[in-house]
Structure 1
Amino acid sequence: MSLGGSASATPRRAPDEHEIRKDLAAAYRVMALKGMDDSIYTHISARLPDGEAGQKRFLLNPFGMMFDEVTAENLVTVDEAGVIIDDPYGHGVNAAGFTIHSAVHMARHDAACVLHTHTVAGVAVSSVKEGLLPLNQWSAQFHGAIAYHEYEGIALDLEERARIVADLGALNVLMLRNHGTLVCGRSVAEAVKLALNLERSCKAQVAALSMGLTPDPLPDDVAAHTAQQYARAYDRTEASDSDAEWAAILRLIERSAPA
Protein backbone atom coordinates (compact mmCIF):
# COMPACT_ATOMS: atom_id res chain seq x y z
CA MET A 1 0.00 0.00 0.00
CA SER A 2 1.21 3.48 -0.85
CA LEU A 3 0.34 5.83 2.00
CA GLY A 4 -1.94 8.60 0.82
CA GLY A 5 -1.91 7.21 -2.71
CA SER A 6 -4.59 5.61 -4.81
CA ALA A 7 -4.51 5.01 -8.54
CA SER A 8 -8.28 5.54 -8.71
CA ALA A 9 -8.41 8.76 -6.68
CA THR A 10 -9.58 11.77 -8.66
CA PRO A 11 -6.97 14.55 -8.41
CA ARG A 12 -7.94 17.98 -7.20
CA ARG A 13 -7.86 20.95 -9.58
CA ALA A 14 -4.28 21.34 -10.78
CA PRO A 15 -2.72 24.39 -9.12
CA ASP A 16 -0.98 27.01 -11.22
CA GLU A 17 2.62 28.14 -10.70
CA HIS A 18 1.64 31.02 -8.41
CA GLU A 19 -0.27 28.69 -6.10
CA ILE A 20 2.53 26.13 -6.07
CA ARG A 21 5.07 28.80 -5.16
CA LYS A 22 2.88 30.12 -2.33
CA ASP A 23 2.26 26.64 -0.93
CA LEU A 24 5.93 25.65 -1.17
CA ALA A 25 7.08 28.82 0.59
CA ALA A 26 4.52 28.11 3.32
CA ALA A 27 5.89 24.55 3.61
CA TYR A 28 9.39 25.90 4.26
CA ARG A 29 8.07 28.27 6.90
CA VAL A 30 6.04 25.66 8.75
CA MET A 31 9.04 23.32 8.81
CA ALA A 32 11.11 26.13 10.33
CA LEU A 33 8.34 26.99 12.79
CA LYS A 34 8.17 23.35 13.92
CA GLY A 35 11.96 23.12 14.30
CA MET A 36 12.26 20.64 11.43
CA ASP A 37 14.90 22.54 9.44
CA ASP A 38 18.66 21.93 9.51
CA SER A 39 20.48 25.24 9.07
CA ILE A 40 20.72 25.85 5.28
CA TYR A 41 20.45 22.14 4.47
CA THR A 42 17.61 19.76 3.55
CA HIS A 43 14.98 20.61 0.98
CA ILE A 44 11.38 20.65 -0.12
CA SER A 45 10.76 20.56 -3.86
CA ALA A 46 7.61 20.99 -5.89
CA ARG A 47 6.86 20.06 -9.48
CA LEU A 48 5.85 22.93 -11.77
CA PRO A 49 3.76 22.67 -14.93
CA ASP A 50 5.97 21.84 -17.92
CA GLY A 51 7.83 24.72 -19.53
CA GLU A 52 7.03 26.16 -22.95
CA ALA A 53 9.45 23.73 -24.60
CA GLY A 54 8.00 20.82 -22.64
CA GLN A 55 10.87 20.65 -20.16
CA LYS A 56 10.14 19.18 -16.73
CA ARG A 57 10.68 21.74 -13.99
CA PHE A 58 10.61 21.88 -10.23
CA LEU A 59 11.20 24.42 -7.48
CA LEU A 60 13.89 24.13 -4.80
CA ASN A 61 15.13 26.42 -2.05
CA PRO A 62 18.04 28.76 -2.83
CA PHE A 63 21.32 27.48 -1.41
CA GLY A 64 22.46 29.48 1.61
CA MET A 65 19.02 30.53 2.85
CA MET A 66 17.41 29.37 6.07
CA PHE A 67 13.94 27.86 5.72
CA ASP A 68 12.25 30.89 7.28
CA GLU A 69 13.82 33.12 4.62
CA VAL A 70 12.30 31.24 1.69
CA THR A 71 9.54 33.09 -0.16
CA ALA A 72 7.45 32.38 -3.23
CA GLU A 73 9.62 34.87 -5.14
CA ASN A 74 13.12 33.56 -4.31
CA LEU A 75 12.55 29.86 -5.02
CA VAL A 76 14.90 28.45 -7.68
CA THR A 77 13.51 26.79 -10.82
CA VAL A 78 15.53 23.75 -11.92
CA ASP A 79 14.96 21.22 -14.67
CA GLU A 80 15.38 17.48 -14.15
CA ALA A 81 18.90 17.56 -15.60
CA GLY A 82 19.98 20.05 -12.93
CA VAL A 83 20.02 23.07 -15.23
CA ILE A 84 19.09 26.28 -13.40
CA ILE A 85 16.22 27.97 -15.25
CA ASP A 86 15.60 30.83 -12.84
CA ASP A 87 17.64 31.80 -9.76
CA PRO A 88 16.52 35.09 -8.17
CA TYR A 89 18.94 34.75 -5.21
CA GLY A 90 21.91 33.88 -7.42
CA HIS A 91 23.43 31.09 -5.33
CA GLY A 92 22.08 28.01 -7.09
CA VAL A 93 20.88 24.95 -5.20
CA ASN A 94 22.51 22.38 -2.97
CA ALA A 95 24.01 19.53 -5.04
CA ALA A 96 22.92 16.82 -2.61
CA GLY A 97 19.42 18.24 -2.60
CA PHE A 98 19.29 18.04 -6.38
CA THR A 99 20.45 14.42 -6.34
CA ILE A 100 17.72 13.20 -4.01
CA HIS A 101 14.84 15.31 -5.25
CA SER A 102 15.53 14.96 -8.96
CA ALA A 103 15.67 11.18 -8.53
CA VAL A 104 12.15 11.09 -7.17
CA HIS A 105 10.68 13.70 -9.52
CA MET A 106 12.09 11.95 -12.59
CA ALA A 107 10.66 8.58 -11.60
CA ARG A 108 7.49 9.50 -9.77
CA HIS A 109 5.34 11.94 -11.71
CA ASP A 110 2.61 11.52 -9.10
CA ALA A 111 4.94 13.16 -6.57
CA ALA A 112 4.03 16.83 -6.80
CA CYS A 113 6.11 17.58 -3.71
CA VAL A 114 9.12 15.87 -2.13
CA LEU A 115 10.04 16.83 1.43
CA HIS A 116 13.32 15.75 3.06
CA THR A 117 14.28 16.44 6.68
CA HIS A 118 17.10 15.84 9.15
CA THR A 119 15.35 16.10 12.53
CA VAL A 120 16.76 14.65 15.76
CA ALA A 121 13.83 12.24 16.10
CA GLY A 122 13.79 11.30 12.41
CA VAL A 123 17.54 10.69 12.31
CA ALA A 124 17.33 8.71 15.56
CA VAL A 125 14.66 6.37 14.19
CA SER A 126 16.51 6.07 10.88
CA SER A 127 19.57 4.94 12.86
CA VAL A 128 18.03 1.82 14.41
CA LYS A 129 17.51 -1.45 12.55
CA GLU A 130 13.85 -1.72 13.55
CA GLY A 131 12.97 1.65 11.99
CA LEU A 132 9.55 3.05 12.85
CA LEU A 133 7.45 0.77 15.03
CA PRO A 134 3.61 0.71 15.17
CA LEU A 135 3.50 1.85 18.79
CA ASN A 136 0.48 4.16 18.56
CA GLN A 137 -2.18 5.65 16.31
CA TRP A 138 0.20 8.19 14.82
CA SER A 139 2.78 5.64 13.71
CA ALA A 140 0.15 3.07 12.69
CA GLN A 141 -0.70 5.21 9.67
CA PHE A 142 2.74 4.34 8.27
CA HIS A 143 2.37 0.58 8.80
CA GLY A 144 3.47 -1.22 5.65
CA ALA A 145 4.00 2.11 3.95
CA ILE A 146 7.64 2.95 4.68
CA ALA A 147 10.55 2.07 2.40
CA TYR A 148 14.18 2.06 3.57
CA HIS A 149 17.34 3.16 1.74
CA GLU A 150 20.81 2.31 3.04
CA TYR A 151 23.22 5.15 3.73
CA GLU A 152 25.85 5.67 1.01
CA GLY A 153 27.43 8.91 2.20
CA ILE A 154 26.41 12.49 1.42
CA ALA A 155 24.13 12.26 -1.61
CA LEU A 156 26.42 13.76 -4.25
CA ASP A 157 26.69 10.72 -6.54
CA LEU A 158 24.09 10.91 -9.29
CA GLU A 159 24.27 7.12 -9.64
CA GLU A 160 22.60 6.84 -6.22
CA ARG A 161 19.38 8.22 -7.73
CA ALA A 162 18.48 4.87 -9.29
CA ARG A 163 18.90 3.12 -5.94
CA ILE A 164 16.81 5.73 -4.11
CA VAL A 165 14.02 5.32 -6.65
CA ALA A 166 14.22 1.53 -6.55
CA ASP A 167 13.99 1.48 -2.76
CA LEU A 168 11.12 3.98 -2.66
CA GLY A 169 9.13 2.09 -5.28
CA ALA A 170 5.45 3.06 -5.23
CA LEU A 171 5.49 4.17 -1.59
CA ASN A 172 5.38 7.76 -0.40
CA VAL A 173 7.61 7.53 2.68
CA LEU A 174 11.31 6.69 2.63
CA MET A 175 13.48 6.28 5.70
CA LEU A 176 17.01 7.21 4.66
CA ARG A 177 18.99 5.05 7.04
CA ASN A 178 21.42 6.90 9.34
CA HIS A 179 20.39 10.10 7.55
CA GLY A 180 16.77 11.27 7.85
CA THR A 181 13.36 11.01 6.25
CA LEU A 182 11.74 11.74 2.90
CA VAL A 183 8.05 11.97 2.01
CA CYS A 184 6.21 12.45 -1.27
CA GLY A 185 2.83 14.12 -1.67
CA ARG A 186 0.33 14.53 -4.46
CA SER A 187 0.26 18.15 -3.32
CA VAL A 188 2.50 20.33 -1.16
CA ALA A 189 -0.20 20.16 1.51
CA GLU A 190 -0.18 16.36 1.59
CA ALA A 191 3.62 16.20 1.81
CA VAL A 192 3.65 18.65 4.73
CA LYS A 193 0.95 16.75 6.62
CA LEU A 194 2.75 13.44 6.10
CA ALA A 195 6.03 14.97 7.28
CA LEU A 196 4.43 16.43 10.42
CA ASN A 197 2.76 13.11 11.24
CA LEU A 198 5.96 11.17 10.61
CA GLU A 199 7.92 13.55 12.82
CA ARG A 200 5.58 13.21 15.79
CA SER A 201 5.54 9.42 15.29
CA CYS A 202 9.34 9.40 15.53
CA LYS A 203 9.27 11.68 18.58
CA ALA A 204 6.72 9.44 20.28
CA GLN A 205 8.86 6.37 19.60
CA VAL A 206 11.99 8.00 20.99
CA ALA A 207 10.02 9.07 24.09
CA ALA A 208 8.36 5.68 24.60
CA LEU A 209 11.58 3.69 24.26
CA SER A 210 13.42 6.04 26.62
CA MET A 211 11.03 5.25 29.51
CA GLY A 212 12.68 1.94 30.36
CA LEU A 213 9.32 0.16 30.27
CA THR A 214 8.06 -2.54 27.90
CA PRO A 215 7.00 -1.34 24.42
CA ASP A 216 3.53 -2.55 23.38
CA PRO A 217 3.31 -2.43 19.56
CA LEU A 218 -0.09 -2.66 17.91
CA PRO A 219 -1.03 -6.03 16.36
CA ASP A 220 -0.38 -6.15 12.61
CA ASP A 221 -4.07 -6.35 11.73
CA VAL A 222 -4.97 -3.32 13.84
CA ALA A 223 -2.02 -1.30 12.50
CA ALA A 224 -2.93 -2.26 8.91
CA HIS A 225 -6.58 -1.30 9.46
CA THR A 226 -5.53 2.07 10.90
CA ALA A 227 -3.17 2.68 7.98
CA GLN A 228 -6.03 2.05 5.55
CA GLN A 229 -8.24 4.49 7.44
CA TYR A 230 -5.58 7.20 7.16
CA ALA A 231 -4.98 6.42 3.47
CA ARG A 232 -8.69 6.77 2.66
CA ALA A 233 -8.81 10.10 4.48
CA TYR A 234 -5.82 11.38 2.45
CA ASP A 235 -7.49 10.18 -0.75
CA ARG A 236 -10.72 12.02 0.04
CA THR A 237 -8.84 15.24 0.73
CA GLU A 238 -6.74 15.00 -2.43
CA ALA A 239 -9.89 14.41 -4.48
CA SER A 240 -11.38 17.63 -3.13
CA ASP A 241 -10.54 21.31 -3.42
CA SER A 242 -11.17 21.64 0.32
CA ASP A 243 -8.41 20.87 2.83
CA ALA A 244 -9.30 22.14 6.29
CA GLU A 245 -6.01 21.10 7.89
CA TRP A 246 -3.86 22.81 5.25
CA ALA A 247 -6.01 25.94 5.53
CA ALA A 248 -5.37 25.92 9.29
CA ILE A 249 -1.62 25.50 8.72
CA LEU A 250 -1.63 28.46 6.33
CA ARG A 251 -3.40 30.58 8.97
CA LEU A 252 -0.76 29.52 11.51
CA ILE A 253 1.98 30.64 9.13
CA GLU A 254 0.21 33.94 8.51
CA ARG A 255 0.10 34.60 12.27
CA SER A 256 3.47 33.23 13.30
CA ALA A 257 5.84 33.35 10.32
CA PRO A 258 4.50 35.71 7.64
CA ALA A 259 6.64 36.18 4.55
Structure 2
Amino acid sequence: MSSDYNIPVYAPRDSVTEAEWQARLDLAACYKLLVLHGWDDLIYTHVSLKIPGTEHFLINAFGLTFKEVTASNLVKIDIDGNILDPDCPFSINPAGFTIHSAVHAARHDAKCVIHIHQSDAIAVASQTDGLLPLSQYAAFALASISYHGYEGLAVDAGECQRLQDDLGDSNFMLLPNHGALTVGQTVGDAFMHMYDLIKACEIQLKMQQSQAELIYLEPHIVENIKAQANVVHTGLTGGQKAWPAMLRRVKNEFPDFDS
Protein backbone atom coordinates (compact mmCIF):
# COMPACT_ATOMS: atom_id res chain seq x y z
CA MET A 1 0.00 0.00 0.00
CA SER A 2 1.25 3.47 -0.83
CA SER A 3 1.32 6.27 1.72
CA ASP A 4 -1.73 7.94 0.18
CA TYR A 5 -3.80 4.79 0.80
CA ASN A 6 -4.41 4.09 -2.88
CA ILE A 7 -4.97 0.44 -3.75
CA PRO A 8 -2.53 -0.71 -6.46
CA VAL A 9 -4.14 -1.12 -9.86
CA TYR A 10 -4.29 -4.77 -10.86
CA ALA A 11 -6.64 -5.64 -13.71
CA PRO A 12 -6.09 -9.07 -15.29
CA ARG A 13 -9.46 -9.11 -17.08
CA ASP A 14 -7.94 -9.22 -20.56
CA SER A 15 -5.43 -11.92 -19.69
CA VAL A 16 -7.63 -14.57 -18.07
CA THR A 17 -10.06 -17.13 -19.44
CA GLU A 18 -13.81 -16.66 -19.32
CA ALA A 19 -13.98 -19.44 -16.73
CA GLU A 20 -11.50 -17.66 -14.49
CA TRP A 21 -13.26 -14.32 -14.87
CA GLN A 22 -16.60 -15.86 -13.92
CA ALA A 23 -14.92 -17.43 -10.88
CA ARG A 24 -13.54 -14.00 -9.97
CA LEU A 25 -17.01 -12.45 -10.23
CA ASP A 26 -18.59 -15.11 -8.04
CA LEU A 27 -15.85 -14.96 -5.42
CA ALA A 28 -15.79 -11.15 -5.27
CA ALA A 29 -19.57 -11.22 -4.82
CA CYS A 30 -19.20 -13.64 -1.92
CA TYR A 31 -16.80 -11.30 -0.15
CA LYS A 32 -19.32 -8.48 -0.54
CA LEU A 33 -22.09 -10.69 0.87
CA LEU A 34 -19.98 -11.31 3.97
CA VAL A 35 -19.76 -7.53 4.39
CA LEU A 36 -23.52 -7.13 3.95
CA HIS A 37 -24.16 -9.75 6.65
CA GLY A 38 -21.55 -8.36 9.02
CA TRP A 39 -19.42 -11.49 8.87
CA ASP A 40 -16.15 -9.83 7.85
CA ASP A 41 -13.32 -9.33 10.33
CA LEU A 42 -11.15 -6.32 9.38
CA ILE A 43 -8.62 -7.75 6.86
CA TYR A 44 -8.76 -11.29 8.24
CA THR A 45 -10.48 -14.57 7.28
CA HIS A 46 -10.90 -15.78 3.73
CA VAL A 47 -12.99 -17.30 1.00
CA SER A 48 -11.11 -19.38 -1.57
CA LEU A 49 -12.32 -20.78 -4.88
CA LYS A 50 -10.81 -23.24 -7.32
CA ILE A 51 -10.64 -21.98 -10.91
CA PRO A 52 -12.54 -24.46 -13.13
CA GLY A 53 -10.35 -26.66 -15.28
CA THR A 54 -7.18 -25.88 -13.30
CA GLU A 55 -5.41 -26.70 -10.06
CA HIS A 56 -5.25 -23.01 -9.18
CA PHE A 57 -7.19 -21.00 -6.63
CA LEU A 58 -8.37 -17.45 -6.02
CA ILE A 59 -8.20 -15.72 -2.64
CA ASN A 60 -8.29 -12.18 -1.26
CA ALA A 61 -5.24 -9.95 -1.17
CA PHE A 62 -3.85 -9.58 2.36
CA GLY A 63 -4.35 -6.03 3.58
CA LEU A 64 -7.62 -5.28 1.78
CA THR A 65 -10.94 -5.19 3.57
CA PHE A 66 -13.67 -7.35 2.10
CA LYS A 67 -15.40 -4.15 1.00
CA GLU A 68 -12.34 -3.39 -1.16
CA VAL A 69 -12.23 -6.80 -2.84
CA THR A 70 -13.12 -6.78 -6.55
CA ALA A 71 -12.97 -9.38 -9.28
CA SER A 72 -9.70 -7.96 -10.60
CA ASN A 73 -7.76 -7.74 -7.34
CA LEU A 74 -8.25 -11.33 -6.24
CA VAL A 75 -4.95 -13.22 -6.15
CA LYS A 76 -4.31 -16.43 -8.12
CA ILE A 77 -2.29 -19.04 -6.23
CA ASP A 78 -1.40 -22.72 -6.29
CA ILE A 79 -2.20 -25.27 -3.59
CA ASP A 80 0.96 -24.27 -1.71
CA GLY A 81 -0.04 -20.60 -1.64
CA ASN A 82 2.47 -19.47 -4.26
CA ILE A 83 1.30 -16.41 -6.22
CA LEU A 84 1.19 -17.34 -9.90
CA ASP A 85 1.08 -13.93 -11.58
CA PRO A 86 4.48 -12.16 -11.41
CA ASP A 87 2.76 -8.80 -11.98
CA CYS A 88 0.48 -9.16 -8.96
CA PRO A 89 1.25 -6.34 -6.50
CA PHE A 90 -0.40 -8.11 -3.56
CA SER A 91 0.53 -10.77 -1.03
CA ILE A 92 -1.69 -13.31 0.73
CA ASN A 93 -1.99 -14.29 4.38
CA PRO A 94 -0.03 -17.59 4.59
CA ALA A 95 -1.55 -18.48 7.97
CA GLY A 96 -5.01 -17.94 6.55
CA PHE A 97 -4.41 -20.14 3.54
CA THR A 98 -3.17 -23.03 5.67
CA ILE A 99 -6.75 -23.94 6.54
CA HIS A 100 -7.99 -23.51 2.98
CA SER A 101 -5.16 -25.48 1.39
CA ALA A 102 -5.78 -28.35 3.79
CA VAL A 103 -9.46 -28.49 2.81
CA HIS A 104 -8.88 -28.14 -0.93
CA ALA A 105 -6.17 -30.82 -0.87
CA ALA A 106 -8.39 -33.37 0.89
CA ARG A 107 -11.79 -32.49 -0.58
CA HIS A 108 -11.74 -32.24 -4.36
CA ASP A 109 -15.50 -31.63 -4.30
CA ALA A 110 -14.97 -28.55 -2.14
CA LYS A 111 -14.40 -26.00 -4.88
CA CYS A 112 -15.22 -23.13 -2.50
CA VAL A 113 -14.18 -22.81 1.15
CA ILE A 114 -15.49 -20.07 3.46
CA HIS A 115 -13.89 -19.47 6.87
CA ILE A 116 -15.10 -16.68 9.17
CA HIS A 117 -14.79 -15.51 12.78
CA GLN A 118 -18.44 -14.64 13.35
CA SER A 119 -19.23 -14.11 17.05
CA ASP A 120 -22.34 -16.29 17.34
CA ALA A 121 -20.59 -19.16 15.59
CA ILE A 122 -17.66 -18.92 17.99
CA ALA A 123 -20.04 -18.82 20.96
CA VAL A 124 -21.93 -21.94 19.88
CA ALA A 125 -18.80 -23.78 18.74
CA SER A 126 -17.33 -23.20 22.19
CA GLN A 127 -20.25 -24.75 24.06
CA THR A 128 -19.68 -28.29 25.27
CA ASP A 129 -22.63 -29.64 23.29
CA GLY A 130 -21.96 -27.50 20.23
CA LEU A 131 -24.82 -26.92 17.79
CA LEU A 132 -28.17 -28.14 19.12
CA PRO A 133 -31.27 -29.22 17.14
CA LEU A 134 -33.28 -26.12 17.98
CA SER A 135 -34.30 -24.87 14.52
CA GLN A 136 -34.74 -25.88 10.91
CA TYR A 137 -31.48 -24.04 10.15
CA ALA A 138 -29.72 -26.18 12.72
CA ALA A 139 -31.14 -29.32 11.14
CA PHE A 140 -29.65 -28.33 7.78
CA ALA A 141 -26.23 -27.85 9.40
CA LEU A 142 -26.49 -30.96 11.57
CA ALA A 143 -26.98 -32.95 8.38
CA SER A 144 -23.28 -32.60 7.70
CA ILE A 145 -21.35 -31.07 10.60
CA SER A 146 -17.93 -31.59 12.15
CA TYR A 147 -15.70 -29.90 14.75
CA HIS A 148 -12.00 -29.05 14.91
CA GLY A 149 -10.42 -27.98 18.18
CA TYR A 150 -8.37 -24.81 18.48
CA GLU A 151 -4.60 -25.23 18.11
CA GLY A 152 -3.54 -21.59 17.98
CA LEU A 153 -2.80 -19.61 14.83
CA ALA A 154 -2.94 -21.85 11.78
CA VAL A 155 0.78 -21.84 10.98
CA ASP A 156 1.59 -25.45 11.90
CA ALA A 157 1.63 -27.69 8.83
CA GLY A 158 0.92 -30.63 11.10
CA GLU A 159 -2.52 -29.22 11.83
CA CYS A 160 -3.51 -29.72 8.19
CA GLN A 161 -3.86 -33.48 8.57
CA ARG A 162 -5.82 -33.15 11.80
CA LEU A 163 -8.14 -30.63 10.19
CA GLN A 164 -8.67 -32.92 7.20
CA ASP A 165 -9.41 -35.87 9.48
CA ASP A 166 -11.92 -33.84 11.50
CA LEU A 167 -13.64 -32.41 8.41
CA GLY A 168 -14.09 -35.77 6.70
CA ASP A 169 -16.92 -35.50 4.19
CA SER A 170 -18.90 -32.84 6.09
CA ASN A 171 -19.89 -29.50 4.57
CA PHE A 172 -20.18 -27.55 7.84
CA MET A 173 -17.50 -27.18 10.50
CA LEU A 174 -17.49 -25.37 13.82
CA LEU A 175 -14.11 -24.46 15.28
CA PRO A 176 -14.33 -23.97 19.08
CA ASN A 177 -12.82 -20.67 20.27
CA HIS A 178 -12.21 -19.75 16.65
CA GLY A 179 -15.06 -19.63 14.12
CA ALA A 180 -16.87 -21.49 11.38
CA LEU A 181 -16.08 -23.08 8.03
CA THR A 182 -18.26 -24.29 5.19
CA VAL A 183 -17.52 -25.84 1.82
CA GLY A 184 -19.46 -26.27 -1.39
CA GLN A 185 -19.18 -27.40 -4.98
CA THR A 186 -19.95 -23.80 -5.93
CA VAL A 187 -19.68 -20.41 -4.25
CA GLY A 188 -23.46 -20.38 -3.98
CA ASP A 189 -23.52 -23.70 -2.15
CA ALA A 190 -20.77 -22.70 0.28
CA PHE A 191 -22.48 -19.38 0.98
CA MET A 192 -25.88 -20.98 1.61
CA HIS A 193 -24.24 -23.45 3.97
CA MET A 194 -22.67 -20.60 5.92
CA TYR A 195 -25.97 -18.71 5.95
CA ASP A 196 -27.73 -21.73 7.47
CA LEU A 197 -24.97 -22.28 10.02
CA ILE A 198 -24.87 -18.69 11.22
CA LYS A 199 -28.68 -18.49 11.44
CA ALA A 200 -28.69 -21.70 13.47
CA CYS A 201 -26.09 -20.27 15.89
CA GLU A 202 -27.94 -16.97 16.24
CA ILE A 203 -31.22 -18.73 17.02
CA GLN A 204 -29.61 -21.10 19.51
CA LEU A 205 -28.10 -18.23 21.51
CA LYS A 206 -31.39 -16.30 21.49
CA MET A 207 -33.29 -19.33 22.74
CA GLN A 208 -30.74 -20.06 25.44
CA GLN A 209 -30.73 -16.45 26.60
CA SER A 210 -34.52 -16.48 26.98
CA GLN A 211 -34.17 -18.91 29.92
CA ALA A 212 -37.41 -20.53 28.79
CA GLU A 213 -37.82 -24.26 28.43
CA LEU A 214 -36.54 -25.17 24.98
CA ILE A 215 -38.30 -27.31 22.38
CA TYR A 216 -35.83 -29.56 20.57
CA LEU A 217 -36.42 -31.04 17.13
CA GLU A 218 -37.30 -34.73 17.29
CA PRO A 219 -34.39 -36.97 16.23
CA HIS A 220 -36.38 -38.54 13.40
CA ILE A 221 -37.14 -35.09 11.98
CA VAL A 222 -33.46 -34.19 12.00
CA GLU A 223 -32.67 -37.46 10.24
CA ASN A 224 -35.31 -36.79 7.57
CA ILE A 225 -34.00 -33.27 7.01
CA LYS A 226 -30.53 -34.69 6.47
CA ALA A 227 -31.83 -36.37 3.32
CA GLN A 228 -33.83 -33.33 2.29
CA ALA A 229 -30.96 -30.89 2.83
CA ASN A 230 -29.00 -32.34 -0.07
CA VAL A 231 -31.88 -31.40 -2.35
CA VAL A 232 -32.97 -28.09 -0.85
CA HIS A 233 -29.65 -26.40 -0.10
CA THR A 234 -27.17 -27.82 -2.60
CA GLY A 235 -26.84 -27.58 -6.36
CA LEU A 236 -29.40 -26.28 -8.84
CA THR A 237 -32.27 -26.27 -6.34
CA GLY A 238 -30.22 -24.86 -3.48
CA GLY A 239 -27.22 -22.59 -3.53
CA GLN A 240 -27.26 -22.15 -7.29
CA LYS A 241 -30.95 -21.27 -7.27
CA ALA A 242 -30.40 -18.48 -4.77
CA TRP A 243 -27.08 -17.31 -6.18
CA PRO A 244 -28.38 -15.12 -9.07
CA ALA A 245 -30.48 -13.18 -6.54
CA MET A 246 -27.40 -12.78 -4.35
CA LEU A 247 -25.44 -11.44 -7.35
CA ARG A 248 -28.18 -8.89 -8.05
CA ARG A 249 -28.08 -7.77 -4.43
CA VAL A 250 -24.32 -7.34 -4.56
CA LYS A 251 -24.46 -5.42 -7.84
CA ASN A 252 -27.03 -3.07 -6.33
CA GLU A 253 -25.02 -2.47 -3.14
CA PHE A 254 -21.51 -2.58 -4.63
CA PRO A 255 -21.72 -1.62 -8.34
CA ASP A 256 -17.95 -1.88 -8.84
CA PHE A 257 -17.48 -5.38 -7.41
CA ASP A 258 -17.07 -6.71 -10.96
CA SER A 259 -14.37 -4.23 -11.92
Same fold (TM over 0.5): yes
> What is the match of residue 190 of structure 1?
189
**Comparing both structures, which one devotes a greater share of its residues to helix?**
2
Aligned pairs for 1:178-217 (under 5 A) are: 178-217=177-216
> What is the match of residue 248 of structure 1?
245
> What is the match of residue 237 of structure 1?
236
Q: Secondary structure of the equivalent of 2:98?
A: helix
Q: Secondary structure of the equivalent of 2:27?
A: helix
- Rounded to whole Å, the distance in 1 between the matches of 2:149 and 2:114 is 18
Q: CA deviation at 1:50?
A: 5.0
- 8 Å CA contact 1:62, 1:91 repeated in 2: yes
> What is the match of residue 38 of structure 1?
41
- Rounded to whole Å, the distance in 2 between the matches of 1:132 and 1:78 is 34
Identity %: 40
Q: One-letter code of the match for 1:27? A: C
Q: Return the match for 2:50 from 47, 50, 58.
A: 47
Question: 1:30-67: per-residue Cα shift (whole Å, max 9, x none)?
Answer: 0011101011000000001355xxxx211110001111
Q: CA deviation at 1:107?
A: 1.0
- 8 Å CA contact 2:143, 2:229 repeated in 1: no
Q: Structure 1 residues 32 and 88, CA, compared in 2 at 3 Å: closer, same or farther?
A: farther
Residues 1:24 and 2:27 aligned together: yes
- Rounded to whole Å, the distance in 1 between the matches of 2:181 and 2:80 is 21
Question: 1:57-96: per-residue Cα shift (whole Å, max 9, x none)?
Answer: 1111000111111111000111112211137662311122
- 8 Å CA contact 1:141, 1:228 repeated in 2: no
Q: Structure 1 residues 23 and 202, CA, compared in 2 at 3 Å: closer, same or farther?
A: same
- Rounded to whole Å, the distance in 1 between the matches of 2:75 and 2:86 is 5
- 8 Å CA contact 2:106, 2:164 repeated in 1: yes
Q: Structure 1 residues 254 and 142, CA, compared in 2 at 3 Å: closer, same or farther?
A: same
Q: One-letter code of the match for 1:18? A: W
> What is the match of residue 12 of structure 1?
none
- Rounded to whole Å, the distance in 2 between the matches of 1:136 and 1:215 is 11
- Rounded to whole Å, the distance in 2 between the matches of 1:106 and 1:49 is 15
Q: Structure 1 residues 67 and 236, CA, compared in 2 at 3 Å: closer, same or farther?
A: closer
- Rounded to whole Å, the distance in 2 between the matches of 1:50 and 1:254 is 27
Q: Secondary structure of the equivalent of 1:44?
A: strand
Higher RCO, 1 vs 2 (CA within 8 Å, ≥6 residues apart) = 1
- Rounded to whole Å, the distance in 2 between the matches of 1:84 and 1:158 is 19
User: Please, which runs of 5 or more residues in structure 2 have no aligned partner?
Assistant: 1-17
- 8 Å CA contact 1:62, 1:87 repeated in 2: no
- Rounded to whole Å, the distance in 1 between the matches of 2:86 and 2:76 is 7
- Rounded to whole Å, the distance in 2 between the matches of 1:173 and 1:126 is 12
> What is the match of residue 13 of structure 2?
none
> What is the match of residue 111 of structure 1?
110
Cα RMSD between the aligned structures?
Answer: 1.8
Q: Taking structure 2 as the reference length, what is the TM-score of the superposition?
A: 0.87
- Rounded to whole Å, the distance in 1 between the matches of 2:81 and 2:131 is 33
- 8 Å CA contact 1:77, 1:87 repeated in 2: no
Q: CA deviation at 1:234?
A: 3.3
Q: CA deviation at 1:136?
A: 1.1
Q: One-letter code of the match for 2:23? A: I
